[in-house]
Structure formats: C-alpha cells, structure tokens
Amino acid sequence: MGMIGETVDSIKSLQIRQVLTQAVSLGMIVTSALIIWKALMCITGSESPVVVVLSGSMEPGFKRGDILFLHMSKEPIRAGEIVVFNVDGREIPIVHRVIKVHERGDNGEVDVLTKGDNNYGDDRLLYAHGQLWLQRHHIMGRAVGFLPYVGWVTIIMTEKPIIKYILIGALGLLVITSKE
C-alpha cells in the first residue's frame, strides 16, 4: 500500500478515546495561541503586537515579508519614528515613518503626517477623504524590532489560499493520525 492507504488504515484504527484526546489537544493548542496573543496585546499596549510588511514602501529599511514588533506607549509620537496605522475605510494597516508632528493645544495631543521611505510624497492620498493628519487613535503602535523575511509565510498563504488549505489539511491529518 502507499502512504495514503496507511493513513486511511490509521484513521480506521482510532478509538473514540484517542479521537477525543487529540481533539482536546488541538483545542488546547488553539486556546494557548489565543491566550499568548491577548497577553502580548496587554504587554505591548497595541491591538496588533505583530504585523507583516506587505509592500516595498519602506525599503530599504524594511522589506516585504519582514515581521515588525509593535509597542504603544503614552509618550508622544515624534518625527522619525516608524508607526503602524489604520485609516478609516481600509482594513489593512500601513507601516510608514512619521515625517511631521503637529501639536494641538496645551494638552500634548499630536497629529502626525506619515510617508513611506520608498515613496515620493506623503501619505495624505492614503488617508480618508478630507483627512490631512493622523490622530493617536489611528496609530496601532511603534515599530520596536523586526524579523526579516519570516512574514513571507503569511503573504504566500494570503496570496495563494490553496496553500493555506493544504497546510491546514495536512496539519489536521497529522493530529488525527498521531499515535500519542
């Protein structure tokens, strides 16, 4: 027989207790990942503590596929910092550098203007219609570190969904057929 036949035989030989044990183990893995993500959100103060750079707009500093680690503190944002922000009407966050800071009044609140290092002009064309500056609530966090190229896994699975389904199916099959 081939590998598929052995896998089918392995699935047939499973007992209810083994299936339940493996389902509980899979549930614990998923739950642990969610708990770790929520803990990172609390520690970093960012709604998304890790993001993947999806375009070449920040090259040469950050390349497409780099993973950025974010932190959001109470300190005012300053020119030169790299921030990740959401714009109203767009669901994908953007990673760009702050090029101008505009202080509002005596309360210390700042509005910022951003630009990709590899882009010609500022980001006002990316902002919502009529919006000239980003406020603090638009900013998800400041980049505090990065891992080069690791985010390509996410990009490939997003751009080629069949690979994601094959990977999930293979992992599910591995969990179901494992003997322990």
Q: In what order do the strands lie in the sheet with 109-115?
A: 50-52, 67-71, 139-147, 82-85, 94-104, 109-115
57 flagged as catalytic: yes
Q: Is the peptide bond before 49 cis (omega within 30 degrees of 0)?
A: no
Which token pair is 40? 């990172």
Which token pair is 27? 């549930």
Give the DSSP letter string of 11-45: HHT--HHHHHHHHHHHHHHHHHHHHHHHHHHHHHT
123 flagged as catalytic: yes
In this structure, which amino acid lies at residue 90? R
How far apart CA 169 and CA 142 sit, in angstroms, is 36
Closest CA to 99 of 75, 88, 76, 83: 83
Choice among 10, 25, 66, 96 that is catalytic: 96
Choice among 57, 73, 88, 129 that is catalytic: 57
96 flagged as catalytic: yes
- For tokens 């339940």, the residue is 20
- The CB density around residue 22, as the number of other CB atoms within 10 Å, is 18
Annotated catalytic residues are 57, 96, 123
